[in-house]
Amino acid sequence: MADIIHSISITASPEAIFDAITTQKGLSSWWTEHVKAEPTEGSTATFGFNDGEIEFHMHVDELAPGTRVRWTCSTDFPDWNGTTLRFDISVRDDGVAMLGFRHMGWESGSEHLARCNTDWGRLMYYLKDYLETGSDTPMMR
């Protein structure tokens, strides 16, 4: 099994970071415009790409306000299906908020894994930009 791992500092409160990764407004501001999501454990968030041609469904497994979000993916893409995405929010001793991200459980070290690793790295900066500047420009439209 292979995992994608990223970590980024963000000048925002843990609560603001949590909202950006759990609410429809937050998610559509940095990831994709085509989101249906609510911050409720047990719900399913839907992310659309290529004008709805591709959909990813994320079962919301865990919501710990200000500290953690965990999803399980179900989709027709075999590399993503059954993988787990986890966002861990913490605050360093100097007061800087940190977001740790893991996309876990990939079956292989495929080219698709490498491409998604790059995309997730870029997405972390779109999320940071949204939280620090208010930019409402998702990476995917």
Is 35 inside a domain boundary? Answer: yes
Given a contact cutoff of 8 angstroms between Cβ atoms, the answer to whether 22 and 4 are in contact is no
Q: Is 138 among the domain residues?
A: no
What is d(CA 55, CA 33) in angstroms, rounded to the nearest whole number?
12
Over residues 89-139, the pLDDT tens digits come to 999 999 999 999 999 999 877 888 999 999 999 999 999 999 999 999 999
Kindly report the CATH number assigned to the domain that includes residue 129.
3.30.530.20
* Residue 124, helix vs strand vs coil: helix
Residue 71, in any domain of the structure: yes
Query: Does 54 reside within a domain?
Result: yes
Of the pLDDT bands very low, low, confident and very high (cuts 50, 70, 90), residue 141 is: confident
Helix (H) or strand (E) segment spanning residue 102: strand 97-106
The structural domain count of the chain equals 1
Task: Tell me the CB-side half-sphere exposure of residue 99, using CA atoms within 13 A.
Answer: 29
Examine residue 140 and state whether it is found in any structural domain, yes or no.
Answer: no
pLDDT tens digits for range 34-78: 999 999 999 999 999 988 788 999 999 999 999 999 999 998 888
Identify the bridge partners of residue 102 per DSSP, sorted by sequence position: 5, 86
Is 49 part of a structural domain of the chain? yes
Residue 141, domain member (yes or no): no
Which of helix, strand or coil describes residue 77? coil
Range of the domain at 121: 2-133
